Amino acid sequence: MVKTDILIIGAGPVGMFTVFEAGLLKLRCHLIDALPQPGGQCTEIYPKKPIYDIPAYPEVLAGDLIKNLEEQIKPFEPGYTLGERADTIEKQEDGSFIVTTNKGTKHQAPVVMIAGGLGSFEPRKPPIPNISEYEDKGVEYIIRDPEIYRDKKVVIAGGGDSALDWSIFLADVASEVHLVHRRNEFRGALDSVEKVIELSKTGKINLITEAEVKEIHGENNVQAVVIKHKTEGDIYTETDHFIPLFGLSPKLGPIADWGLEIEKNAIVVNNALDYSTNIPGIFAIGDVNTYPGKLKLILCGFHEATIAVQYAYNIINPDKKFVMKYTTVGGVEGFDGSKKEAKKAAVVKV
């Protein structure tokens, strides 16, 4: 039996940052994740994807963000159960929870933080009859290593942040980048849309709107696609890779059977207070939760984790009063006694 103060379901960036915030309060954490390594989607799906909305980082690769988080939480010695899925949860007489994985590993904690991101997921595939024949033969739904597109011809389909961001990134990697979207309007960040338009004006991206990829051709691998344009008809385009980026279809998995209040495949939480669920002692943070005005951003998940941990402290230590101290004043002390001292500001006498 693994025993800890806070059991975190999901070892993505939000789950990892929870370890840091809990560590500041001298609370120990253990993380469970079905993936074989920490980092969630940032590691498994898009480690080389640039992220632009992390404070103090104008741009950081998803994989590098995870490496930095690992370094940040290292002093707090988190435990990990990786490659196992949290399957069942049982509330004990003392108020604690026992979570058992699909491989039978049991974990006990007074507080459970669900930071499972989007849960388990499958890519949304375009309705092209023979697309499955070309999977891993030039058709990719996820970009893990952008170097495989070096000096290659690439067709990307989609109108969201992922399609826009990867088109921008691959414009300096691939020999040709075609971005196909069925509308003139995009769903992504305005800044990314403006960058794509600017790159299309300079010839770095061939932007084709009001169009859809309808056919894939090639003997053993992708060699061309047929793009059906609203006014120009069929456009035969030679390419080495076709990358449809229409997002992922998320599923909560076994967590959906835990008795939590669910709304549109997300866990309802009290965002006015502490991001708690309808079951006392269970919190949900990050993309897995929902509330009025919810934004599915890593940045927002970090905030939610910070607030939730403060309230978790009261559950774990009902007889203690926690007094928050800024890390700029108190520094960061790990469980091994090591401490990063806060630097004192110089006093200048005049």
Helices within the chain (DSSP H only): 13-24, 41-44, 62-73, 161-170, 190-201, 298-316, 327-330
- Say what the pLDDT of residue 17 is: 98
- Say what the pLDDT of residue 349 is: 42
**Residue 169 — φ and ψ, nearest 5°?**
-65, -45
Is the domain covering 2-121+248-340 a CATH 3.50.50.60 domain?
yes
Is the domain covering 125-244 a CATH 3.30.428.10 domain?
no
For residue 102, give the nearest of 119, 83, 85 by alpha carbon: 85
Coil, helix or strand at residue 331: coil
Give the DSSP letter string of 147-176: GGGTT-EEEEE-SSHHHHHHHHHHTTTSSE
Domain boundaries, the chain: 2-121+248-340, 125-244
- Say what the pLDDT of residue 347 is: 43
- Say what the pLDDT of residue 323 is: 66
Q: Do 2-121+248-340 and 125-244 agree at the fold level?
A: yes
- Say what the pLDDT of residue 345 is: 45
pTM here is 0.67
Say if strands 86-91 and 79-82 run parallel, antiparallel, or are unpaired.
unpaired
Give the DSSP letter string of 212-252: EEEEEE-SSS--EEEEEETTTEEEEEE-SEEEE---EEEE-
Q: Answer whether 130's CB lies under 8 Å from 216's CB.
A: yes
Question: Mean pLDDT by 10-residue block, N- to C-terminus, for the chain (350 residues)?
Answer: 97 97 96 88 81 93 95 96 92 97 96 84 85 94 89 96 92 98 91 95 97 96 97 96 85 89 94 97 96 95 97 94 65 71 48
